[in-house]
Structures are given as structure tokens and as C-alpha cells.
Amino acid sequence: MNDQARAAAERIFAAAAELGTTRQEAILVTRAVHAVKKGRPTEVALTDTPQHRRRKLAHVVGCELWDPALDADDVLAAVTSAGRTAPRERRTPREHQTSVAA
């Protein structure tokens, strides 16, 4: 894994944050798009909500994985390793109450 792959992973996580999705979701989408790139099937739906957050995130991930200057396997490794080392995302008690009430 190299600095370019780590930078690509950070761009993927930044896009996920901008779209309002979690790092775990970014890892899931990255794994799914990587599988597609390698010709393997995936059961991950990339059009999950009316806002199509996964589809938008998959577009960002795809741009990174298909970049000829980057190795897709290195980018996947950077995303998954960054996901393991990042602190868990936590909801505030107020966010939890709001989601439970909905």
C-alpha cells in the first residue's frame, strides 16, 4: 500500500462523510465496486435510498479504482485498513432518541 492509495482512501471517506454515510458504508461500497472491477458478483445494492447515496459514493469509489495511476487492490487495502484503525462512529444520545422515535 502506498501514499497514493491512502490518499484515494481519504477521498472516498471524505465523499462518504459529505454524503452523510458512515465509514463502514464506504468500506462496503468500496468492496462491492472492487468486486465488480475484478469481474466478481456482488449482492450489495448500490441504489439504496431515494437520495441514492450509495450510487453517488460508488461513483467516487469507481473513479478511484479505475484510475490508471492507482492499483485497485492497494486502494481497497487502504480503505479496509483505515476502517479498522479509525475510531468507531458513535451517535449522541439525542441522535439515538430521534432515530428510535422515527
Give me 52's grid cell. Answer: 441514492
Q: Could you give the angle at which helices 23-37 and 53-65 cross, rounded to 10 degrees?
A: 50
Residue pLDDT, tens place only, 15-71: 999 999 999 999 999 999 999 999 999 998 877 666 688 899 999 999 999 999 999
Q: Supply the pLDDT for residue 52.
A: 84
Give the number of domains in the chain. 1
Residue type at position 29: V
Closest CA to 64 of 53, 55, 54, 76: 76
As a residue count, the chain comes to 102
Structural domain boundaries enclosing 65: 3-101
Q: Work out the average pLDDT over 58-86.
A: 89
pLDDT exceeds cutoff 70 at 1: no
Question: Where does 1-102 have alpha helices with state H?
Answer: 3-19, 23-37, 53-65, 72-85, 93-101
More confident residue, 93 or 58: 58
pTM of the full structure? 0.76
